[in-house]
Structure formats: structure tokens, C-alpha cells
Amino acid sequence: MRLVVDLNRCQGYAQCAFLAPDVFVMHGDESLLYSPEVEEDRREDLARAVAACPVQAIVVDANFPDTNSGTDR
């Protein structure tokens, strides 16, 4: 799974680093480092982190169908 954190939104609440410490690491009081790609076995922790982010800054791969898109949602 690929992920990206919109660090413009991030305010350093560190919820992700508490809940998924193998994926998100605080670097100092406020800076966040994260693994841009994580293994499937971290999915549950990652889901907790995504949901807990107070500013909803974590974007994870959507589970999109790989074929024929182009239609609106």
C-alpha cells in the first residue's frame, strides 16, 4: 500500500505515530517521517492512523478497480 501525508495539513498531533509506530515516526516534537509504502500486514494499524488523524492528512491508495474507469463516481 502506498501512502502520502499532506504535510501542509499535518499539525503534529502524532496520533498516527502512536497508533502505527512502524509506519509513522515523529522526528522531534512536530516533524513526521513515514514509510511511503507499507506491507499488507500493517493495514489495520494504518487504518487506525488514517481514521485518527485530526486533520485528515493521510492519503492511502484507494481500492479502485484496475480496469475500465473513466466513469464518474
Partner 1 sequence: MTEAILRQIIDYAHRADPYPLYAELRQTPVYHDADGPFVLSRYYDIQSLLHDPRISSDARNLKTPATANPLAAEADEETALPPSFLRLDPPEHDRLRRMTNRPFGPPHSPRRVHEMRGELKDIVSGLIDGIDNPDRIDLVDQFSYPFPVTVICRLLGVPREDEARFHSWADTIAASLDPVPGADTDERAKVSHNARTELGMYLAGLIEERRKKPGDDMLSQLSTAGGPDGVMTTMEVLSTAALLLIAGHETTVNLITNGMLTLLRNPDVLERLRKDPNFAVPVVEELLRFEPPVQLVPQRTTLADIEVRGVTIPKGASLWLVLAAGNRDPDRFEDPDRFDPDRGDIQHLGFGSGIHSCFGAPLARLEAQLALSELARRLENPRLLEDPPPYRQNAVLRGPRHLPIACDGIRP
Partner 2 sequence: MSVDGSLDRLKREGRIVVVGASLAGLRAAETLREKGFDGSLTMIGDEPYEPYDRPPLSKQVLLGRATADRTGLPRHRAIDARWRLGVPATGLDMAARRVRLADGDEVEYDRLLIATGIRARPWPQEDEAELDGVFVLRTRDDAEALERSLAQGPRRVLVIGAGFTGSEIASACRERGIAVTVAERADAPLVGALGGVVGRVAAELHRKHGVDLRCGVMVTGLEGDSAGRVRAAHFSDGNTIEADVVVVSLGAQRNTEWLAGSGLGAGPRGIACDAGCRAFDIRGIVTDDIYVAGDVARSPHPLFGYQFLSLEHWGNAVAQAETAAHNMLSDSADRRPHIWVPAFWSSQFGVNIKSVGVPSMGTEILIAQGSRSEHRFTGVYGYQDRVIGAVTFDQTKWLQFYQQLIETTAPFPPASPTVDRRPEGQQPMPADFPDPSVPTHGPTVTLSGYAPDDRRLTFTPARH
Q: Does 42 bind partner 2 (CB under 8 A)?
A: no
Residues 10-69 that bind partner 1 (CB under 8 A): 13-15, 17-21, 25-29, 44-45, 47-48, 51-52, 54-56
Cell of 56: 485528515
Per CB under 8 A, the list member of 10, 19, 49, 53 interacting with partner 2 is 10
Q: Which residue has the cell 480496469?
A: 67
Q: Does 51 bind partner 2 (CB under 8 A)?
A: no
In whole angstroms, give the CA distance from residue 12 to residue 9.
9
In whole angstroms, give the CA distance from residue 17 to residue 26.
6
Query: Which of partner 2, partner 1, none interacts with 21 (beta carbon under 5 to 8 A by kind)?
Result: partner 1
CB of 72 to partner 2, least distance (A): 4
In whole angstroms, give the CA distance from residue 40 to residue 70.
28
